[in-house]
A and B are shown apart, each in its own frame.
Chain A
């Protein structure tokens, strides 16, 4: 009988003990940081004079939106690595990041709409930035649907890579949308195109802490999903081996 594939026989089905320690560490760190973020958001940062309490949504909405944009870049880079190396692990990472990105894009749109209602008076408007973010959500959804119902194996990964690259092109356009078009969305406050000093220093610190918190939380979720995806890939390999 043929030998069991190396990835499976090497007992790499689940991330080992050290992986578990890292995951638990990230989970605890994200919990501690989230406690700090909540304290800062509710007690420490000043309330914006015009928008009032609803402006505090900013400390959740902005980090989530940043991560939703970053995730599609991760998906695209991992997909390119997969196309070059044909390695399963990079494809597993791309799929995992796409699933996390879909969650983040959903949350970015929902939290944005919940912020828009008290400020703009409507849940949704076809503003360029909002519309492009919705397009990103469709790109994530299209990627996941293709991987679920489209061709399996490397062919599915190749098709997925094309969608991921479209998303990666869309990400910077979303970021610069407020510069490129007249939009109702507030101007850029973070990143390379933001004007320095456009954000109160205490608010900027609050945003920094909440962004770090969400990065740690997203890293934890990504590692968990990647570990699960590896298990799925390894089980597929065993099914092929068993016949």
Chain B
């Protein structure tokens, strides 16, 4: 539970959970489509399914999966890169704030000494 909370407490963690859930769902659905097509081909004319003339209807499945993988890969890679850059920026900002606060306190001390 502690690990789940840790995962849920960070934005990156939530992104990872969503990405994994969608990937699992995609695989599940993809498996079903594959089975669906095979069954239809075996049982002949239960229509609605792909009826590419003179070609195997499943022949193009790798192209379909490639598109889904590329699309999801692109979006999530971009989201993760942004999430990482956001945290780096925040760290840099905190460091800068510290420098400014130090400078301001030093100038305040200088004025007090005068």
Contact = CB atoms under 8 A, between A and B. Distances in A.
Interface of A: 1, 4, 13-14, 20, 23-24, 27-28, 31, 34-35, 38-39, 42-43, 46-54, 56-57, 60-61, 64, 103, 106-107, 110-111, 114-115, 117-118, 217, 221, 224-225, 227-228, 231-232, 234-235, 238-239, 241-242
Contacts of A23: 11
Interface of B: 11, 14-15, 18, 21-22, 25-26, 29-30, 32-33, 37, 48-53, 55, 57-61, 63-64, 66-68, 70-71, 74-75, 78-79, 82-83, 85-86, 89-90, 92-93, 96-97, 99-100, 103-104, 107
A115 B63 contact: yes
A106 B71 CA distance: 10
Contacts of B70: 107, 110-111, 114
A64 B89 CA distance: 29
A50 B107 contact: no
11 contacts: A31-B21, A35-B22, A51-B52, A60-B68, A107-B71, A115-B63, A115-B67, A118-B59, A118-B60, A231-B89, A242-B103
Nearest to B99: A242
The 10 closest A-B pairs by CB, nearest first: A52-B50, A54-B60, A52-B52, A118-B60, A42-B29, A231-B89, A47-B50, A31-B18, A57-B67, A111-B67
Contacts of B64: 53-54, 56-57
Given A24-B14, A111-B71, A231-B93, A53 B78 contact: no
Given A52-B57, A64-B71, A117 B63 contact: yes
Nearest to A50: B52
Contacts of A49: 50-51
B86 A106 contact: no
Q: Is the interface of B mostly helix, strand, loop or mixed?
A: helix
B53 to A, nearest CB: 8
Given A107-B71, A235-B96, 15 more contacts: A1-B107, A35-B22, A35-B25, A43-B29, A47-B50, A53-B57, A53-B58, A57-B67, A60-B71, A114-B70, A117-B63, A227-B86, A235-B92, A239-B96, A242-B99
A46 B83 CA distance: 38
Contact of B22 (A34, A47, A64, A239): A34
A225 B11 CA distance: 14
Contacts of A241: 100
B79 to A, nearest CB: 6
A225 B60 CA distance: 35
Contact of A53 (B22, B37, B48, B97): B37
B90 A14 contact: yes
B102 to A, nearest CB: 11
